[in-house]
Each structure stands twice: as structure tokens, then as C-alpha cells.
A and B are shown apart, each in its own frame.
Chain A
Amino acid sequence: MEKTTIKVGALPIPDPVSLYIAQAKGFFKEEGLTVEPQTITGGAVAVPMIESGQLDISQTNYVSTFAAVEKGKKIKLVADMYQAGANCFVIMVPADSPIKTVADLKGKTVLVNNLNNVATLAVETQLKVAGLTKDDVKFAEKPFPEMGNAIKAGQADAGWITEPFITANQSANGFRKLADTMTGQTEDLPIAGWMATEEWVQKYPKTLAAFQRAIAKAQQLASSDRKEIEAMLPKYTKIDAKTASVITLGTYPSELNANRLQKVADLMLEYKYLKSPIDVKSVIAAPASSG
């Protein structure tokens, strides 16, 4: 193996749980790999961090990845991480809000964690179903932890929210779900994966293969036993055990499948997040096991 110790960046959210499962279960060790997990603070700093070499591999969301690839960034996807399930990314409004349907969002302000990313894309697909476009609503950026208070304070009418904040806003603020944004065009939408630079992938093929095998094993465990996820969440996020047991989770695919991911790139093209089509196969670093 070319490199036996690697630094891997992950957000403190449920998506990258298999990194910590693989670590705790010794899957990396079995491959002869020492992994140093690093908490990252957002997709925006992840790319410069893999480019400068502070991280070997990092979590990314697919919308950001494809947008970066179109801008000429030499990034490869190396493993799958998280795929949307029912009710894990929803639009929420206060219980007494006059907004009853997605169509009522016309002229309203919707909070998203990032503009021009998976959040706005997911909301746009639901607006389309209701006969609206993105120009019919105002999007504003706000970190997830601050959305509940911002909506209560009247800064916005609705928010695109994920866990553990869906549960928190339901129980503490009495918010209700207006719509599940992962339905229709976005059903089972691939959300996040692991990335490395093209240079890194070429330089360390055996290290990458070892990482891929260990992560795939942990992904299988995560998708077959929710208890594994619940046990790990309070260790790298500060989600308390009670919340961890009730939050809605997506799924954890073991294989990076170009056909599934192509859906994200195609949606981005349809909603003008991309100017020209991207062939997702060219962005994926094929696992060594298949060749």
C-alpha cells in the first residue's frame, strides 16, 4: 500500500456514520489502514482542504461536486455515503402558519442551508409540481441550527430542514412538515459521497481500494442495523442518544453507482445548476475490486 495513514474529513451529521463505524469495528485496521477522522465545517472548505493536502479524502455532496467539476476542479468520487429516504429533508412551517400547501409558498421566504445547492434544487422540484418556479419564492441562507429561531422571529416563512433539526423543531417549536422534498423527481436522490483529488486517486490506488473496501463493509452494516448508527452518532456529533433513536434517516448504499448518480447531474442540468451535461462515469474513481 502506498500510504497507510490517511486523514478523512467528515461533517458532524448522520451521513458519514460509516467512517466511524469502520473505525470502531476495526474495518480500516483489517485493511492495514490508519484513518484519522477530522471534523469539517462545510463543503466550501472541503475542496481546498483536499487540494492543499490537509485531507486525503473528504465528505462532499453530489450537487457541490458536479458544480465544482464543471468549474474544472479535478475531483473524483471514491465511495458512496448517503441517499435520501422519505421525510429526511422536509420543508417546515410553524404550526399556525397560513401556508398549507407548497403552492402557498408563492412570495414567501424559504430558508436553506446553502443557496444553489441540493437544498434549493430539492425545493425547486417541489415548486415545479405546485406550478411555481424558483422566482416565485425568496431563498435565504441560514445554518440549520438557527433556522427554527429565525422562522419564529419572523425572518422567514418556511425552512428546508434535515435531521436532527426536523425532530428538534417538531418537539421544541411545534413546527409541522409542509412537504417532503425527496419525492417525485428527487425520490431516493443520492446526497453525499467521499471525494479525493484526481492526483491523489492516481498516486494511491491501493490505499484507495483499502478505504473503499472498509467503507463498503461499514455501509452494509449501517444499512442493515440502525442500532449501529444510533450507537455511533453521539460520539462524533453531539446528538443525544434519545434524539438519535427517533430521527429519520436516509439509506447507506455500499456501491458507487454511476446510473444512480447520473440522476443528480441530469436534475442539475434541467434546473440550470449546470450549463452542460456531465457524464458521471468520468467523475467516479472505479473501485480496484472491479478491475
Chain B
Amino acid sequence: MTGARLLRGAVGAAGFIVAGELVLRFVVPDDLSFPPPSTILLETVRLLVDADFLAGIGTTLTNWALGMLIAICVAVPLGVLLGSLPPVERAIRPVLEFLRPIPSVAIIPLAILLIPVDGMMKVSVIVYASMWPILINTLYGMHDVDPLAKESLRSFGFGPLAVLARVSLPSAAPFVATGVRIAAGIALVLAVSAELVAGGAAGLGVYVVQASSGNRVDLMMAATVWAGLFGVAANLVLLAGERRLFHWHRMRTGAHS
């Protein structure tokens, strides 16, 4: 991201905060018990020295990372397998298309009922939700492989595995990376949602539940700001990684982000 873009982004965020502050202080003075952005920002910073909150973040981010890791390990090989075997893909596709649109938050109560360990329950829900974008993007990536390149390699006597390793996988990799980046956001949503629905010993969502029942809207909002910041940070890191790794892909497709 260039300096100018960063500056514009910062101006936009600051404008949003100032506007919120003015609206809450002057437009809706007493009709809504909602803290102004300045109070929320102060609490957001203060949470950095709140041991409970930090422990909670540790739990949430661990579940998130673990869920993402498992989702990648399951979805990428599955996507490659289905992408290389069209008849199998055609057979399984209807099941995928049925499962994919089910809102993942809706499976949390089912997971509570079925999985006896709290942490495992949350990670499972994260895996389930974040698997889809990785799987679907991997599939698209496999479909997008240049058939000519595959044919050339075959005509030189390379076996199917060699074709996969030398042509298909490198060609599908940028799609997989995009899937992972989309999945990271979804995984964070599910990591926090599972805590909001099921509670737990500690976590960002657990902190929000505790703050809400203590009537601390300021703390609820501050914790929510952190959730947003983590989402932004994850996206930026993954985007930067994609740019560095797949520079050639961007050149070829002319994609900007």
C-alpha cells in the first residue's frame, strides 16, 4: 500500500470517528445510552493492559489459527483431488453446493450438542466455515490451468504427478491464496460468534458477553474494535504475502488487489 493510500485511509477513518462523536454528542444527546467514539477508543487502548482481555485474545486467536490451519490442510488437498478428477467432482459437487450456503453460525448449536470439548467444538466450527472458500477457490484454480502447458509436459513423457507438481499446483496457487485470505475473515467471524453463542473460559466473544451483562457498552464496543482490527491486520498480511509470492500472477491477470 502506498503512503498516499494509507493517508487517505487514515483520513477516512478519522472522519468517521469525528462524525460519530459529533452525532452522538449533539444529535442524539439523551435518547440513546451509547458511549461516544472517544470513550470507546480510550477503552480500546486500555484493554491492552487488561489481563483477562489479553488471555481472551490469546484463546480466540489460537482457535482461529488452528481452525485455519486445519481448514487449509483439508480443503487444499480435497480441492486438488476433485479438480484433477472431473467425474468425482461432478458426483460430489451437488453435496458441496447444498452444504456451502448453510450459514455457519447456525451449526454452532449442533456443534455444542455433538462435540464434548469446548475448544474442539469452536475449532470444528471454524474449520467448517473457512473450508468452503479455500475448497471452491482451489477447484477454480485447478480448472484454470492452461491445458496446453499440461499437454506439452505429457508429450515430453511426464507422468500425472509430475504434471500436477510442475504445472497445475503452481498455476492454482494464487487462487488458493485468495481462498485462504477470504477464509481468514470468515474464520475470525466464527471464532468470535462461537464464543458469543457458547461462552467459554476466555475469549474475545466471552469478554463481550461479560461486558454486556455488566451493562458496559463501552467495553463491548472496545472489544469489538479489536475484533475489527484483527480482521484488517489478517487481510493486510495475507494480501502482502500474495503480492510477494504471486507477483507473476498479478502481472498476467492485471489484478490490482
Contact = CB atoms under 8 A, between A and B. Distances in A.
B33 interface: yes
A153 B31 CA distance: 8
B199 A238 contact: no
Given A11-B213, A238-B214, A240-B214, A41 B196 contact: yes
B187 interface: no
A283 interface: no
A164 B214 contact: yes
B88 to A, nearest CB: 34
Nearest to B32: A149
Given A49-B112, A52-B115, A54-B121, A41 B199 contact: yes
B215 A52 contact: no
Interface stretch (A32-40, A80-88, A130-138): A32-40
Contacts of B33: 148-149, 168, 172-173
B102 to A, nearest CB: 19
Contacts of B219: 238
B35 to A, nearest CB: 11
Nearest to B198: A45
B112 A52 contact: yes
Contact of A238 (B113, B115, B210): B210
Contacts of A233: 214
B149 interface: no
Most buried by A among B33, B114, B206, B214: B214
B109 interface: yes
B145 interface: no
A152 B112 contact: no
Of the candidates B32, B109, B113, B117, the one having the most CB atoms from chain A within 10 angstroms of its own CB is: B113
A168 B218 CA distance: 14
A13 B215 CA distance: 11
Interface string B204-228: 0010011111111101000000000
Interface centre among A39, A145, A149 (most CB of B within 10 A): A39
Interface of A: 7, 9, 11-13, 36-41, 45, 48-49, 51-54, 143-145, 148-149, 152-153, 164-165, 168, 172-173, 233-234, 236-240, 243
